[in-house]
Chains A and B, each alone.
Chain A
Amino acid sequence: MLISFYLIALVLVLSAFAVVLLPNAIHSALCLIVNLLGVAAMFALLEAHFLATMQVIVYAGAIMVLVVFVLMLLNMKREALGLRQYTLFAFSFLVGSLFLAFIAASSSIQWGDALQYAAGSVGTIERVGRMLFTRYVFAFEAASLLIMAAVVGAVMLSRTKKSQHLSGGAS
């Protein structure tokens, strides 16, 4: 259990660094897919089976297809990453680590305690679905409304001038 955690954590951290540091955006996107699959593996390790599945389908599937599609649509050049950029990255990483140390020093988490595993699994599809359609049913419907609005907004934003002209002439 602990060994698989460390393996997945290693993959996650390395691929996250690769996403941020590789100069070619398409390489970053491919490393982000690895990262998202690693997060799904982490969910599975925590017995959130439903969310692990959703992570693979929604994130590593749908969202990354969108991102890679846009990357291929826009033909962009390599970003010039010089010493200055890497210094900036190292500096911001250092400041963030200090922030982490500050949180660790001031939080009340007991750093030694292990996860307590109950007999029944927590995140099965049955339990998640039951909760989603009872206590969170309004939030669920609101989420569907939000995605609907996002789809309409995306179409509106990415319309070209030509189709605007055409629809203006038709009305």
Chain B
Amino acid sequence: MIPVSHFVILATVLFIIGVSGFLFRRNVIVVFMSVELMLNAVNILFIAFARMHENLVGEMAVFFVMAVAAAEAAVGLAIIIAFFRTRMSVDTDDAAAMHG
């Protein structure tokens, strides 16, 4: 029997790795993949608590997170391609047009 706290700790560690990658990487696609890491960490937590409470609502939440993540991947990658076309780069430092 696995204690729930193990899942909480694992999910938090994965989430922190995702946040750190989101903050320190410069490649837009790696930043995007860090977001996926964070989403998956939260999904593990949802399922663990759904299992603990014998309740399917958590699994429904994960299902809709997956649907939104699929939509986000399609739009995000299209934005990355459009960005690459205008700047010829995938570096987040080059997305500084709003700084003036």
* A residues in contact (CB < 8 Å) with B: 1-2, 5, 9, 12-13, 16-17, 19-20, 25, 28-29, 32, 35-36, 39, 42-43, 45-48, 50-51, 54-55, 58-59, 62-63, 66-67, 70-71, 73-74, 76, 79, 85, 88-89, 92-93, 96-97, 99-100, 103, 109-118, 122-123, 127-128, 131-132, 136, 139, 143, 146-147, 149-151, 153-155, 157-158, 160
Contact = CB atoms under 8 A, between A and B. Distances in A.
Main secondary structure of the interface of B (DSSP, over half): helix
Contact of A17 (B2, B17, B59, B69): B17
Given A115-B2, A115-B52, A158-B82, A32 B64 contact: no
Given A54-B63, A116-B52, A19 B8 contact: no
A71 B59 contact: no
A67 B77 contact: yes
Interface in B5-21: 5-6, 8-10, 12-21
Given A19-B37, A85-B24, A150-B74, A132 B60 contact: yes
A35 B51 contact: no
Contacts of B21: 19-20, 89
Nearest to A18: B17
Given A62-B70, A76-B90, A139-B64, 14 more contacts: A20-B17, A20-B21, A20-B34, A48-B50, A63-B69, A67-B33, A74-B80, A88-B23, A92-B23, A113-B5, A118-B54, A131-B56, A157-B75, A158-B78
Contact of A59 (B6, B17, B66, B77): B66
The interface centre, meaning the residue of A48, A54, A97, A116 with most chain B CB atoms within 10 A of its CB, is: A48
Q: How large is the interface on B (under 10, 10 to 19, 20 to 34, 35 or more residues)?
A: 35 or more
A137 B65 CA distance: 15
Interface string B60-91: 10111011111111110111111011000010
Query: Which interface residue of B12, B17, B59 has the most chain A CB atoms within 10 A?
Result: B17
